[in-house]
Chain A
Amino acid sequence: MKRRRLRNWLPAVAGVAAVATLASPLVLPQAAGAQETQYFPVASSRVGPYSAMGTGYYGAQIDYMNYVNMNGGVNGVMLTWQECETEYNAVKTVECYQRLLEKDGQRIVVFDTLGTPGAYAVINRMADDEVVLAQYGYGRTDAADGRVWPWVFNAASHYWSQIAVKMKFMAEQEGGIENMRGKKIVHLHIDSAYGREPLPAMRKIAGDWGVELVEISIPPPGLEQQSQWLQVRREQPDWVTFWGAGSGMNSTGMTNAARVGFPRERLIYVTFGAAEEDMYPAGDSAKGTYAMANALPGDHFPLVQRIKEQVYGAGKGNLAEESRVGSVYWNRGLGAAVMWIEAMRNAQEMHNKVGQAVTGAEFRDGYEALNMTEERLEEIGIKGMVAPFAISCENHEGAGKFAMMQWDGDKFVQVTDWEAPLDPGYIRQLVEDSAAKFASENNITPKQC
């Protein structure tokens, strides 16, 4: 009887669900008050294999926006935001982008996918929609050529610079480039656009130096790596550059390295495997692993301290665990959010709109005018957390510098200062060549700078 009744109810429930389906995406509450506001999208990835990255990074962005609001906004303009879950999935990122695009009649001015697949999925919409794609150390590398990609930035340095800095580090450890001849590097990467992104630069440099490069791919999500590590053991490489994503894949990499006896002091992790959450699960196997940083961890930076006091002190913090404030991903998200707000400040000043919301085009100008000098970073309170940089019309990369860290079993220890590639001009040339190829294939006339 009961079952019967439930069955009768089901159509009604389905009807309600259908109505909700149709109505819901149209409903966007949080009406803007009289106060001037600027709307930001948070296309987070909080569930799935990449949750550690997504919660830390986007958590920091929200924390910083809360902090800015608590301190009077950006020249009085309050920040609003809306979240959407992408699960680090390109298809869902497209949906999220469209959903977040406009709210209360205001359009987003910047978009941040924290994932190369997602960035590629929306990259062609930026110019038409007049939205800045801010790739904080990920995404399409040749977007560093601002003449071909005026709306796309990869400030905080791209993957080609990163791999060049890694190879420079290897050369230093081996005692010079001349000692690199005949050495063997395995590039062990997740089989996606992100994993393959550094390869063009890496192949070129390896060819110039006489280094043998072996590319081994791991199918996503990368939790199964045993056969690949056996292959590594057969190859007997001098170095392994590990290009993984998600703490599951990254920690599995180190435990497998330990299993096949590959020294962790010869294993260099990419920025997206260079976080505490990637290291802890591997336990002792992680000790000695090198990892690259584009924003250093630590909660001793004045801005981080102030956010802890004001935002977390008021119980408005976004992270459930306050102890993660100051971790690698959180600090990286902070670095990205600081750039948004600085760009917005620039845009207000450049276009005489102090105290008003800015448009996508104005924001783009502000972003391109970013000049994060040592002094400015100190004023903000993150001196030393990121390398000082400036963006220009041609160069959308920023510093192009990375710092090497080493995991001591408990925390990261910085082992080098902010390092640029040995020959930044060479990397830049690769970027310009690639961008020029893209421009000619797609009939884009590069902008004059």
Chain B
Amino acid sequence: MSAKPVFMTYTKGDVVNFVVLMALAFLVIPSIVETDYWYTSILIPWLCLALAAIGQQIVMGYTGQLSLGAAGFMAAGAFACFNFILRVPDIPFFVALGLSGLVAAGFGILFGLPSLRVRGIYLMVATLASQFFIIWMIDKFGWFKNYDTSGIITAQDIVIFGHAFTSPMEMFFVVVVVVTVLTLLAMNMARGSTGRNWMAVRDMDIAAESMGISLLRTKLQAFAISAFYCGVAGALFAFTYLKSLEPVAFDIKLSFEILFMVILGGLGTINGAFIGAAFILLFPVVLNSVGNNLFHGAIDATIISSIEQVVFGVLIIVFMIYEPLGMAKLWDNIKQRFLRSRSLRNEVPRDHKGLSKQES
């Protein structure tokens, strides 16, 4: 905390982190990972869901409004994107993506309105309406699905400057770019006055109001921005991962999963969204492939499948008991310990000097 900012409000550590992560995303991963499986089934859905989790984080972790409709906003974004590309000729993909985020944000404001009256788990129930209303609307009116009889439509190819991004690695780049930009934005918002307002409302809304923060504006802003993130995430999820659009893919289960990502990852942290998404998305995959590889033929496959779910549930309980602040906190602890042991090893002789210098 005491480190000096070197670029805007960022410390040296932040900049190093950013550079390392970008190098990882654009240089290391593309040169190491060759199998399509990793791009299409692990990295792309992980980044998409992490983006949705950031959206959930904004409304729940930062503003303290319990909400349970993330998948509904994702569906709104996905279908909006499909319709923009379908109906507006030559619309650039990123424009369609941004517009679909705005459509979702509109829904976010609409369904954020109850937050002005109800709070806590009652608000959670009220926001469920978004989940069911949006899915119902898409199912009910054939226009949204271009009158497709089965209700499952094929997502268009992503075309940017005349180039179709269809290979897994290309789609991964599209997702990385969007996620990077939006994550940086979210971090800035969280650190700036916007985020301070959110957190003031979260910690005590009456106090915040008497400090001159407009509850109406702050809460609706949080809902709108949250829904924007979810909408963009939904569009990316449909266009790069599923490659088809189906309302059922955005069911209540997905909303719950995003909620769990935020809680497990750590409320009120951006990196928690990424860690939580990785855990919720990847752990069942790991358990399933470990189960099927190690016990192939040895144990009844039905029992393996059931054990996976039990193990996953137990892990969630264990994490919640021993690290209620989420995995972001755990990650911090690991980092702290690593740094401490390294600094201890290196700096034991100079310890006194260093301390006194900093104190003075």
Assembled-state Cα–Cα distance A193/B37 (Å): 26
Given A27-B293, A196-B150, CB of A20 within 8 Å of CB of B288: no
How far apart are A10's CB and chain B's nearest CB, in angstroms? Answer: 5
How far apart are A35's CB and chain B's nearest CB, in angstroms? Answer: 17
Q: Residue B248 contacts which of A25, A28, A117, A125 (CB distance < 8 angstroms)?
A: A117
Does A29 sit at the interface, judged by CB under 8 A?
A: yes
Q: A191 and B139: CB pair below 8 A?
A: yes
Assembled-state Cα–Cα distance A192/B151 (Å): 8
Q: B152 and A120: CB pair below 8 A?
A: yes
Q: Residue B330 contacts which of A10, A28, A95, A102 (CB distance < 8 angstroms)?
A: A10
**Which chain B positions have C-beta within 8 A of A200?**
149
Q: B285 and A95: CB pair below 8 A?
A: yes
Closest to B166 in A: A128
**Which chain A positions have C-beta within 8 A of B38?**
25
Q: Residue A98 contacts which of B40, B150, B282, B322 (CB distance < 8 angstroms)?
A: B40
Does A359 sit at the interface, judged by CB under 8 A?
A: no
Assembled-state Cα–Cα distance A123/B150 (Å): 13
Q: B330 and A90: CB pair below 8 A?
A: no
A-side interface size class: 35 or more
Does B198 sit at the interface, judged by CB under 8 A?
A: no
Closest to A30 in B: B296
Interface residues of A in 48-64 (CB under 8 A from B): 51, 55, 62
Assembled-state Cα–Cα distance A8/B21 (Å): 27
Q: Residue B41 contacts which of A82, A99, A117, A442 (CB distance < 8 angstroms)?
A: A99
Does B300 sit at the interface, judged by CB under 8 A?
A: yes
Assembled-state Cα–Cα distance A125/B154 (Å): 11
Closest to A15 in B: B334
| Stretch of B97-105, B121-129, B305-313 on the interface side | B305-313
**Which chain B positions have C-beta within 8 A of A51?**
302
Interface residues of A in 314-334 (CB under 8 A from B): 318, 320
Interface of B is mostly: helix
Assembled-state Cα–Cα distance A120/B249 (Å): 11
**Which chain B positions have C-beta within 8 A of A15?**
334
Assembled-state Cα–Cα distance A411/B307 (Å): 32
Q: Mark A172-199, 1 if CB is under 8 A from B, else 0.
A: 0000000000000000000111001101
Q: Mark B285-297, 1 if CB is under 8 A from A, else 0.
A: 1101110111010
Closest to A140 in B: B150
Q: Residue B286 contacts which of A14, A25, A29, A47 (CB distance < 8 angstroms)?
A: A25
Does A94 sit at the interface, judged by CB under 8 A?
A: yes
Number of interface residues of B (CB under 8 A): 49
How far apart are B70's CB and chain A's nearest CB, in angstroms? Answer: 15
Q: B246 and A193: CB pair below 8 A?
A: yes
Assembled-state Cα–Cα distance A7/B318 (Å): 11
**Which chain A positions have C-beta within 8 A of B290?**
20, 24
Does B327 sit at the interface, judged by CB under 8 A?
A: yes
**Which chain A positions have C-beta within 8 A of B45?**
91, 95
Q: B251 and A47: CB pair below 8 A?
A: no
Q: A94 and B242: CB pair below 8 A?
A: yes
Q: B289 and A11: CB pair below 8 A?
A: no
**Which chain A positions have C-beta within 8 A of B14?**
none
Assembled-state Cα–Cα distance A82/B251 (Å): 28
Does A449 sit at the interface, judged by CB under 8 A?
A: no
Assembled-state Cα–Cα distance A120/B283 (Å): 25
Does B337 sit at the interface, judged by CB under 8 A?
A: yes
Does A44 sit at the interface, judged by CB under 8 A?
A: yes
Q: B285 and A192: CB pair below 8 A?
A: no
Interface residues of A in 7-24 (CB under 8 A from B): 7, 10-11, 14-15, 17, 20-21, 24
**Which chain A positions have C-beta within 8 A of B241?**
91, 94
Closest to A139 in B: B150
**Which chain B positions have C-beta within 8 A of A20?**
286, 290
**Which chain B positions have C-beta within 8 A of A117?**
152, 246, 248-249
Assembled-state Cα–Cα distance A30/B38 (Å): 21
Assembled-state Cα–Cα distance A125/B278 (Å): 25
**Which chain B positions have C-beta within 8 A of A7?**
322-323
Does B36 sit at the interface, judged by CB under 8 A?
A: yes
How far apart are A257's CB and chain B's nearest CB, in angstroms? Answer: 25
Does B244 sit at the interface, judged by CB under 8 A?
A: yes
Q: A14 and B330: CB pair below 8 A?
A: yes
Assembled-state Cα–Cα distance A30/B295 (Å): 11
Does A121 sit at the interface, judged by CB under 8 A?
A: yes
Q: A98 and B306: CB pair below 8 A?
A: no
How far apart are A44's CB and chain B's nearest CB, in angstroms? Answer: 7
Q: Residue B292 contacts which of A84, A102, A318, A434 (CB distance < 8 angstroms)?
A: A84
What are 16 pairs between A and B in contact, CB < 8 Å? A6-B322, A14-B330, A21-B286, A25-B289, A29-B294, A46-B301, A47-B306, A82-B292, A83-B301, A85-B308, A94-B40, A95-B45, A98-B36, A117-B249, A121-B242, A318-B301
A residues apposed to B, CB below 8 Å = 3, 6-7, 10-11, 14-15, 17, 20-21, 24-25, 27-30, 44, 46-47, 51, 55, 62, 82-85, 90-91, 94-95, 98-99, 101-102, 117, 120-121, 123-125, 140, 191-193, 196-197, 199-200, 220, 318, 320, 434, 442
